[in-house]
């Protein structure tokens, strides 16, 4: 969730980029980019200064390191973007049917 300072757009984001660290290349690789449609954000939630964004990646990524980059909309006197919350949520993994083990017998 992102927040801005209202009509000025101070602390707003013009672009958000997410990267993951690829151990094979020993470098961060792009994973997703988001560009908000308006500045200031407008009434996207119960508060006019919040932007609640949900992104779904094209494919799952497993990594130990991630990097988020935020490009600020307004310059001075605003001292950086306002990020309220950033979550990564994985869908619950379901084992394939072939991995199911049948347990029979007494005592189970």
Q: How far apart are CA 53 and CA 22, in angstroms?
A: 25
Percent of the chain's residues with pLDDT above 70: 73
Q: Give the chain's mean pLDDT.
A: 77
Q: Region 30-55: what's the mean pLDDT?
A: 76
C-alpha closest to that of 49 among 73, 33, 69? 73
User: Is the pLDDT at 107 greater than 60, yes or no?
Assistant: no
**Cβ atoms within 10 A of the Cβ of 108, count?**
5
Which pTM does this prediction carry? 0.71
**Cβ atoms within 10 A of the Cβ of 104, count?**
5
Q: Region 77-98: what's the mean pLDDT?
A: 73
Query: Domain segments of the chain: what residues?
Result: 1-88
């Amino acid at each position: 969730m992102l927040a801005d300072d209202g009509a000025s757009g101070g602390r707003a984001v013009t672009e958000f980029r997410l990267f993951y660290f690829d151990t094979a290349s020993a470098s961060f690789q792009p994973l997703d980019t988001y560009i908000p449609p308006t500045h200031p954000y407008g009434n996207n939630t119960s508060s006019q200064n919040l932007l609640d964004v949900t992104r779904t990646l094209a494919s799952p990524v497993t990594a130990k390191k991630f990097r988020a980059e935020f490009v600020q909309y307004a310059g001075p006197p605003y001292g950086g973007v306002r990020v309220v919350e950033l979550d990564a949520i994985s869908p619950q993994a379901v084992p394939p049917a072939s991995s199911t083990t049948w347990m029979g017998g007494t005592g189970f």
